[in-house]
């Protein structure tokens, strides 16, 4: 290599730079052939990486842009449909979010935004699509005007069949009609009415009040929801099956059936918010809520089987009709099916479970919410106490001697006079109905009075809980607990069954409505006259997702003896 004196030391240093590298390459092409080849390879590799990087960035940008477009489009649909509607998933993400909080409030808020009706779109692979409504016009249309084309339907029957079988709550047509007709005859018989009055009096005074008194003496809180569930369970077993399980007593024994039944209703409700194909797979592999349902139904069946065996044995040795108990189960055991054969044990089991659901859960759950509302509204409690004392003070013996029998036992005619108490119970049911939602299915094309178009096979959910929170139905104070809204000139007036649907309406109107009111009034009056019920401070009260509206954590309360001066103030016999 020739020496170039023109190149200074600094120039020499620059020979190490990329420029000098290129210069050397040009000066000595033969000796730098390998280096040139390597550089070109590296440069090409760098360019490939750069191109690949930019291609990936463009792809990610496209994905992001597509996602943003879908999100904006789905969220814009909220204005029209009430909820965002996502491709493939439909409204499922919103439903899952609602289930994590209070699903009944979530449904109410959507219905309020949509003026009482909206169409829920489930995932494309599911059968969760349905119309949800809380419009009284639509309910009258479903439950009365077009009753014949709105049965419970196959979908509802499939969801609840494992628990309720072919009982009165899950069936349609002749099966339902036969059960309802038989039950209706018995419910309206004088013998049955007398038996209900006597059994309730025994339960309240021999079991319920002693348990509450024990809580006062021990100064320990109790779960009032559990106590009331025990009471109504004993009561329905006495009336419907002629069996006394002794669930309510001072020791509060563990009743496996009660736990099994609650778990079964909860697991059954989960099916309504789960795609059918999914819960059927879960049932097949015995996982999750389906495993819980299978286990709990086993406990329910064991109880029902024991009731059937016991009653059949008792009936077989009771030849004299006068000695036979007046209960629904005995009546059904004496009937024949379409082939003239006695009903199977499976069918009797279904009747048993359905009547337990009707008689146990509804009244006790309603009373639990009622006492929770009283604690928050002491003015209402004071008014109820005043009404009770006024009725008691009208007794002839009180007027003449100024003394009240001890213990005080309310008479049936006195219970019927408690109009304000009736209003307070109805108001509690308006806000917290025992059955918060119910289900139908239309079997031919139809149109709701509000203009909603329904195709044959469309599932319809009517949200009873949401109806109590709609200003369009109850006014701006709809969320307030105001028994006065049920009173006119001091007398109780019931609302339309399609505005107040706690007891259903139309041909499926609850057969036990009058008995349920009597049961609740008798129990509530007996408690309020003697005790003050105070909810434990900071006790969380939220509804549970189940077929009936249990309080998720029960109702923890402290019981206090009512002061004599409180009663004297209202009795006016000081």
- Whose tokens are 């699509």? That residue is 129
Instruction: Identify which of 364, 362, 516 has the alpha carbon closest to the alpha carbon of residue 434.
Output: 362
Establish how many alpha carbons lie within 13 A of residue 63's alpha carbon, considering only the half-sphere containing its beta carbon: 6
Q: Work out the angle at residue 541's Cα, subtended by the Cα atoms of residues 535 and 545, and round it to the nearest 5 degrees.
A: 145
| 513 sits in which H/E element | helix 513-530
Which residues make beta-bridge pairs with 336? 342
Q: How far is CA 251 from CA 254, 256, 262, 495, in A?
A: 9, 15, 21, 41
Which residues line the annotated binding site for heme?
Answer: 510
Beta strands in 506-571 (DSSP E): 531-535, 556-561
- Using DSSP bridges, classify how beta strands 491-492 and 487-488 pair: parallel, antiparallel or unpaired: antiparallel
Are 352 and 245 spatial neighbours (Cβ–Cβ below 8 Å)?
A: no
- Whose tokens are 């059937």? That residue is 308
Q: What is the DSSP letter of 122?
A: -
Angle between helices 256-271 and 224-241 (to 10 degrees): 100
In our burial notation (b when 16+ CB lie closer than 10 A, e otherwise), range 326-338 reads: bbbbbbbbeeeee
Based on its alpha-carbon atoms, the radius of gyration of the chain, rounded to whole angstroms, reads: 35
The beta-carbon contacts of 292-298 under 8 Å, at least 24 apart in sequence, are 292/263, 292/266, 292/267, 293/162, 293/163, 293/263, 293/264, 293/267, 293/268, 294/162, 295/260, 295/263, 296/259, 296/260, 296/261, 296/263, 296/264, 296/267, 297/162, 297/163, 297/260, 297/264, 298/260
Tell me the two tokens of residue 373. 């509302």
| 78 sits in which H/E element | helix 33-81
Q: How many Å apart are CA 308 and CA 241, to the nearest integer?
A: 9
Q: How far is CA 305 from CA 242, 310, 350, in A?
A: 14, 9, 11
Instruction: Identify which of 504, 166, 157, 488 has the alpha carbon closest to the alpha carbon of residue 346.
Output: 166
Give the chain's length.
574
Which residues line the annotated binding site?
Answer: 510
Angle between helices 92-99 and 103-113 (to 10 degrees): 130
Q: Is 376 helix (H, G, I), strand (E, B) or coil?
A: helix
Are 398 and 392 spatial neighbours (Cβ–Cβ below 8 Å)?
A: yes
């Amino acid at each position: 290599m020739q020496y170039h004196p023109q190149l200074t030391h600094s120039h020499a240093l620059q020979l190490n730079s990329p420029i000098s590298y290129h210069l050397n390459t040009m000066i000595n092409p033969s000796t730098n052939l390998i280096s040139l080849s390597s550089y070109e390879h590296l440069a090409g590799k760098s360019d490939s990486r750069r191109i690949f990087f930019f291609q990936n960035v463009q792809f990610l940008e496209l994905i992001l842009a597509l996602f943003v477009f879908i999100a904006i489009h789905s969220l814009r649909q909220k204005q029209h449909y009430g909820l965002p509607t996502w491709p493939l998933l439909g409204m499922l993400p919103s439903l899952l979010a609602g289930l994590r909080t209070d699903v009944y409030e979530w449904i109410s808020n959507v219905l309020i935004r949509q003026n009482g009706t909206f169409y829920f779109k489930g995932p494309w692979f599911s059968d969760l699509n349905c119309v949800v409504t809380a419009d009284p016009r639509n309910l009258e249309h479903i439950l009365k005007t077009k009753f014949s084309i709105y049965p419970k339907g196959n979908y509802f029957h499939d969801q609840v069949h494992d628990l309720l079988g072919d009982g009165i709550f899950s069936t349609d047509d002749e099966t339902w009609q036969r059960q309802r007709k038989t039950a209706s005859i018995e419910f309206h018989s004088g013998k049955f009415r007398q038996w209900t009055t006597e059994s309730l009096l025994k339960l309240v005074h021999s079991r319920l009040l002693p348990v509450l008194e024990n809580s006062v003496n021990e100064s320990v809180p109790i779960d009032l929801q559990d106590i009331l569930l025990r009471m109504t369970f004993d009561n329905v077993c006495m009336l419907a099956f002629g069996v006394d399980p002794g669930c309510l007593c001072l020791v509060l024994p563990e009743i496996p059936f009660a736990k099994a039944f609650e778990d079964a209703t909860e697991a059954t409700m989960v099916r309504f918010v789960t795609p059918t194909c999914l819960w059927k797979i879960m049932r097949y592999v015995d996982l999750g809520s389906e495993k819980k349902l299978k286990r709990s139904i086993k406990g329910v069946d064991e109880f029902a089987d024991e009731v059937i065996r016991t009653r059949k044995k008792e009936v077989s040795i009771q030849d004299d009709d006068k000695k036979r108990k007046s209960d629904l189960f005995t009546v059904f055991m004496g009937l024949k099916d379409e082939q003239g054969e006695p009903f199977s044990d499976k069918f009797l089991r279904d009747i048993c479970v359905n009547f337990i659901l009707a008689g146990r859960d509804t009244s006790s759950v309603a009373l639990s919410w009622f006492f929770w509302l009283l604690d928050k509204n002491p003015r209402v409690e004071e008014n109820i106490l005043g009404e009770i004392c006024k009725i008691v003070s009208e007794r002839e013996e009180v007027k003449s001697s100024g003394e009240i029998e001890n213990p005080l036992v309310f008479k049936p005619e006195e219970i019927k006079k408690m109009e304000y108490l009736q209003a307070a119970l109805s108001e509690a049911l308006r806000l917290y109905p025992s059955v918060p939602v119910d289900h139908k299915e239309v079997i031919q094309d139809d149109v709701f009075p509000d203009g909603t178009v329904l195709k044959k096979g469309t599932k319809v959910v009517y949200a009873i809980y949401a109806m109590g929170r709609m200003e369009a139905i109850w006014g701006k104070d709809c969320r307030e607990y105001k028994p006065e809204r049920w009173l006119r000139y001091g007398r109780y007036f019931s609302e339309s069954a399609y505005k107040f649907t706690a007891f259903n309406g139309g041909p499926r109107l609850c057969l036990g409505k009058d008995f349920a009111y009597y049961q609740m009034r008798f129990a509530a009056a007996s408690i309020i006259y003697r005790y003050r019920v105070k909810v434990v401070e900071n006790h969380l009260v939220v509804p549970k997702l189940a077929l009936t509206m249990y309080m998720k954590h029960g109702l923890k309360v402290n019981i206090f003896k009512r002061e004599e001066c409180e009663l004297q103030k209202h009795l006016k016999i000081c």
